[in-house]
Amino acid sequence: MYCNRKTNEDLKESAVRHGGGCLSLGKCFSVDQCNASLLLRTCFKDYFIHKFRAMLGKNRVIFPGEKVLLAVSGGPSSSSMLRQVQEGLSQNAHKKLRFSPGIVYIDEGGAVGRSLEERLRTASELQAVFRSTGFPFHMVPLEQVLDVPPSVLVPAASSQPAASVYKAAVDGFLQAAGGRRPGAAVQQQDAAGLDVLEAHTASLQQLMDSATSLTARQELLSSLRQHLLVHTARSHGYSKLMLGDSCSRSAVKLLAAVCLGRGAQLAQDTGFSDSRYGDVVSVRPMRDYSAKEIAFYNHMFGVPSVLSPSLTTKTSDKSSIQQLTESFITRLQADFPSTVSTIYRSDTHTHTHTHTHTHTHTHTHTHTAAA
């Protein structure tokens, strides 16, 4: 019995046969499915982990020794991202990750009308998950965005080293670490609960109510969340912010952004990296995974998720542009399985064109100035 695994391209399609509990992974095997379920389970795990590390290694945005803040909402994608970082920092990892992780959870209950008791219950469940990782974590209510200074929107000077010094940074980190696991010496930060003031919650709800449509409220909530994430990263010395956007989520965000007239921000909103804030760079290492792949992995390997109500809970498909876009893509994907991947490839081409255009414009401007 063996696994005739070839390339990552051979592993793209996945499906679960519920009757026998077996996983089919494209051309990942050449044996009877039901006799090879354990072997295929290991094969899928290796594939999933490799794709995460390959995404980070290919882009080389995160340097050894950097502090990286993981934005975990408790949903399937961000929870899976947290597990991948745990796997990458474990003693048994083949190629260990070399950054120091932390976790941040933004509690949005005040924006969606949840009671304080419900919010504390969700926060308690997530704290148990975060404590088990051994990483420092921060529980931040969305109300704190009301105290964020306007300067958070102003790009600060980037401390990102040049790509040419990446190898030197790796060598220096290995010598300094001496084989120590990144983040092992960092003391875990506990959080007894959410520090929420009723007056701040009322102000936040008043701000959300000022948006006259669900589309506008979703856009407002997204902006508030992003600003608070960047502020939290800066306040605690993190230079990278890791987001859990999947390929499926990125496809929805891309089409919704075009519908909302935000096409100029596509590269920052859906690309692998977003450096618009300068000193805090956002990265999306889960953008190569479909929602189905993530669901399979979480189910098979017991990745816990803590779900919370959102603005769109119990709303119709036509209640907002974002909801309508998601419903459209989901239904199209059911009939045409290549829908999300096609949008994803279009997104990648858009980023490449944007980068090329920016580079050409900069080169032309420099040449003209020199002349």
- Full-model pTM: 0.79
DSSP structure class, residue 90: S
**Mean pLDDT for the stretch of residues 90-106:** 88
The 3-state DSSP class for residue 28 equals coil
- What distance in Å separates the CA atoms of residue 284 and residue 250, rounded to the nearest whole number? 10
pLDDT band at 90 (very low <50, low <70, confident <90, very high): confident
Position 180 confidence tier, pLDDT thresholds 50, 70, 90: very low
Give the pLDDT confidence of 58-80 residue by residue, as tens digits. 888 999 999 999 999 999 999 99
Residue type, 337: P
pLDDT tens profile 285-312: 999 999 999 999 999 999 999 999 999 9
* pLDDT mean across residues, the chain: 80
Please identify which residue in the block is written with the tokens 């199209």.
332
Answer whether residue 275 shows pLDDT above 60. Answer: yes
Please check whether the domain covering 60-363 is classified as CATH 3.40.50.620.
Answer: yes
For residue 348, the model assigns a pLDDT of: 62
Which pLDDT belongs to residue 161?
53
Classify 60 as helix, strand or coil: coil
210 pLDDT higher than 80:
yes
Q: Please name every residue paired with 107 in a beta bridge, in sequence order, or none if there are none.
A: 141
Q: Give the pLDDT confidence score for residue 25 in this predicted structure.
A: 46
Reported as a single tens digit per residue, the pLDDT across 107-132 is: 999 999 999 999 999 999 999 999 99
Q: What is the pLDDT of residue 313?
A: 92
Is pLDDT larger for residue 184 or for residue 65? 65
**H/E element holding 351?**
helix 339-370
Q: Is the pLDDT of residue 156 over 80?
A: no
Tell me the average pLDDT across 170-180: 48
Query: Could you write out the DSSP letters of every residue in 305-333?
Result: ------TTTT--TTSSHHHHHHHHHHHHH
Instruction: Please give the residue that has the higher pLDDT: either 272 or 163.
Output: 272
CA nearest to 307, candidates 70, 52, 78: 78
C-alpha distances (whole Å) from 196 to each of 107, 109, 110, 193, 212 are 10, 11, 9, 9, 26
57 contacts 99 by C-beta, under 8 angstroms? no
* Domain map (residue ranges) of the chain: 1-51, 60-363
Mean pLDDT, to the nearest integer, of 75-103?
92
134: left (phi over 0), alpha (psi -120 to 50) or beta: left
Position 159 scores a pLDDT of: 54
Q: Which residues contact 36 (CB under 8 A, 6 or more apart)?
A: 1, 3, 22, 29
